[in-house]
Amino acid sequence: MFGYVRPRRDLLSQPELEEYRAAYCGLCRALGKQYGFAARFLVNYDMSFLYLLRSAPAKAAEAAPCWCPARVCGKKSCTLDRAGFEPVTAATVILCVEKLLDDIRDKGFFRSLPQRFLRLLYGRAYRKAARRLPEFAALCARQLEILHTLEAERSPSIDATADAFACVTAACAADLEDPALRRPMEQLLYQTGRFLYLADALDDLKADCQKDAYNPLRYRFHVTDGALSAEDQAYLTQLTDSSVNLAGAALALLPLRSHEALLENIVYLGFPAVFAAVKTGKFRAKDSLWNKRKTPKTDNTGETI
């Protein structure tokens, strides 16, 4: 359920792109420093967005060249912000391990062996992260249990299932003391969570139909050959557009001192372009905008020109 919160890189200036890469690499570095080398593999675009969002009301942290295990002969620019990364790295570990537990429950013993191994591998990191954010860890477990119950009931309610996950993402800002920051940030993260859940559900629809796995779209709409009708897809697009618009309204309420252009790009341009690619089945394609190392020229929806 990770990987859908991305910027339109082709519409970022070079300094903005370097700023985004530094935040991503900084999160990777912070995960390794705080939770061990294996935790570096938990880095993802969505939690990089969370760091950018949480740190935006303050002055941007400095970046410096740091050793990168993926580039043995060179270094990458990394944002150096230990205090800023601490809650984000803890939330990253908790969310990723809870996702592993959810996968273990959904699969049989033998099919879930890789997830069981990873759960053991990240057990110590999870306990440390849960001590850092105990309320968030408890809420995560509670909300994902609600989601598991809805899945077991084959619930056709898109709102109920998306809400169960969105409450988790909204809680990533619950520790902020200033209500002027916390309230719009929680709203933005809640709508981001809804967007994530709906985009993931549509992206996985065909595979879930083939595996007879739970997907709320299967029970809410009439699905033919793993695809929605044009009418149902238009309705789902309206739901995601509503979340994007509300996320944008919440972003406008935040006092942004840094990362403003990046955050606006992700919310206003990245969200719609990602969902457009998911709808056309091109999001996972090797030649798509989201999987190319060099960013091609594209139109306003993210389609390659």
**Domain map (residue ranges) of the chain:** 9-279
Q: What is the pLDDT of residue 73?
A: 72
Tell me how far apart the alpha carbons of residues 95 and 110 are, in angstroms, rounded to a whole number. 23
pLDDT tens-digit readout, 156-188: 999 999 999 999 999 999 999 999 999 999 999
As a dihedral over the C-alpha atoms of residue 223, residue 228, residue 232, residue 233, rounded to 10 degrees, the angle is 160
Q: Where are the alpha helices (DSSP H) in 153-301?
A: 158-170, 179-203, 205-211, 216-220, 230-252, 260-264, 271-279
pLDDT tens-digit readout, 134-152: 999 999 999 999 999 999 9
Classify domain 9-279 at the CATH superfamily level. Farnesyl Diphosphate Synthase (1.10.600.10)
- Could you tell me which of 26, 42, 29 has the C-alpha nearest to residue 99? 42
Do residues 19 and 236 make contact, with C-beta atoms less than 8 angstroms apart? no
Q: What is the pLDDT of residue 111?
A: 81
Give how far Cα 292 sits from Cα of 10, 107, 143, 281, 288, Å: 11, 32, 35, 16, 6
pTM confidence score: 0.92
Q: What is the pLDDT of residue 305?
A: 34
Tokens standing for residue 271:
């969200």
Q: What is the pLDDT of residue 304?
A: 44
Most distant pair of Cα atoms in the chain: their distance: 53
The percent of residues in the chain predicted with pLDDT above 90, rounded, is: 80
Tokens standing for residue 55:
């740190």
Do residues 172 and 189 make contact, with C-beta atoms less than 8 angstroms apart? yes
